[in-house]
Structure 1
Amino acid sequence: MGAENITSVTDFILMGLSNNRETQILLFVVFLFMYSATIVGNLLIIILVRVDSCLHTPMYFFLTHLSGVEICFVTTTVPQMLTHLMSGNGAISFTRCAAQMYATTCLGCTECLLLSAMAYDRCLAICSPLVYAAIMSKKHQWQLTSASWAIGFFLASINVTCTISLPFCGTNHINHFFCEQPVVFKKTCVEARYTEPVIFVGCTLILVGSFSIILVSYGLILYSVFQMQSKRGRHKAFSTCASHLVVVVMFYGVLFFLYMRTGVETALDSDKHIAVFYLVVTPMLNPFIYSLRNKDVHRAVTKVLRRLDFEEKT
């Protein structure tokens, strides 16, 4: 491509979900409600685990980190989207776009790894209950979560650096509501002979690697459950895994559909609508999924409410 067609991009225009002003206002109200529910729900999970000693277990330790990731995930994208919906202007600077790409890629990678760590934790609890406490010590919990964050930051650094180091050309309009790394990558105007494989390998390592850990963990869990003689034991094992399994199916199902399609022109309009699901809907639903049928969380909520009621009376 000729040098005259290559430009130094200083900003992008995010086209958003709709150009209709009435629809934008409606989406603003809906997403503001969903964002508020996401923050409140995930903060409630974190607070309950902190204040109730009965929830000081590895499963809830990982859940607090997952809730923290969800809060950061929506905060890096939704407030900006709300601003664009209210103003009707989707302009974003190149620097802010790059920062958003880095944050969302890092948090997405970290969430994948945390979900696999939670599956590993459930596998140990069900398959090796006698040595579970010794293996899943506090030190081991911190090692798993620290590794999840560190690997997420590392792979995000590689992917985003590979993207922003390439020249951009043509229109600066992006058919999306946030700077998603694969979408921004499509705006580059040189043949990324080495860069694209590096990005694809990074995404594959995270998605396929973490999902493989989850599959193996649940395979071992199923094997152990079917060996149990007690129906009560089977029910308890399934109930402890059900919430996590629902979240995994929702999260990975969308990510595999969006990210593991190479060499095919994707329908960006449908992609950005699907992205709403894993970016806004899933983080909002996660606290409800984990607490809806969770008796430990119900007891913790009751205990906190009673404590607050007692303090008001005194």
Structure 2
Amino acid sequence: MDWTQTPRRSSAMRREQNLALVSAVISGAVIAAGLLLLLLARVNPETASSIRTMATDVAAPAWGVVRAPIDGMTRLVAGIGDYFGAVSRAQALETQLDLANARLRQSRVQARELVQLKRLMAVREPKRQVIVTTRIAAAASGSVVRTAMLAVGSAAGVSRDMPVIGADGLVGRTQDVGQLSSLVLLITDPLSRVPVIIERTGQAGLAAGSNQPTLVLIDRVGPDLPLRVGDRIVTSGDGGVYPPGVPVGVVIEVRNDGPVIRPAQPPLGAGFVTVETAWLQMPAAAATGPLFDAPVPVEARTRGAPKPRLRSAEPGADPATEPTAAAALIVPVP
């Protein structure tokens, strides 16, 4: 009989038993140490904190040594992935660069053509004129109105219905102007209506305030194209108050009752703003001619309405006896 395998099996079993015993002892020691630390933390928190700090100081270097190979392998795998993915990313970037260069060249050509056409057609456009640059002194967001206060007024040349523009976009327009202060109606106020245009589609509309931090796009006209999240909204210049091209906001939600717009320039924290003249100022009253007052239609000649009169060239003439303009045009028929 072969008795050579018995000692080997018994030695393997003995090693397994020893390992199991050591594992049980270590596990019991860890559990006992945890319970002891828990009890110590309840009885004396300061001592427990000191022990935890010492244990952390001892375990940190050992953990760093253990983690070093793992971190090195992770960085190696990431480096290999980046290396193989660099070619595809470089090709994508080159494609985007070519498209951007093509659009830039096209934009430059169109800009030159536009300048030439304006020069040939003798186009005269209003110029934006800054009245004053100041800082928003205060902003109120009540339940009814949303306004801001500027520390400049009519003494600095500010008047009613002037656009107020921040560094990132439109803020509002002046409403009540005093000698040294001005009240600004913010674009988020329910009474605010800003004529705007969607850059991508060319649609025109009104950005209406909703007494919330956002705006609502209403009364859209133009091509029947759906809007997208991210479409930029700028002023159109209609109405004569706001200059065209000023950023108003970005579409953040498309709804049936009107797309929601996030303002490009929040009034709170806007910092410095500029007050400009109205884009298209109302013309002054037409000057009267040297001979006639402003004409009044016959249908408007009611009681108390002024009648046009022919001014006498002789000084001291009696206006009551001067013939009217209509009488002066009557030619007697022989």
> Is TM-score (shorter-chain normalized) higher than 0.5?
no
Task: Please identify which structure carries the higher helix content.
Answer: 1
When you count strand as a share of all residues, which structure comes out higher?
2
The normalised TM-score by structure 1 is: 0.19
Rg larger for: 2
Higher RCO, Cα 8 Å, sep 6+: 1
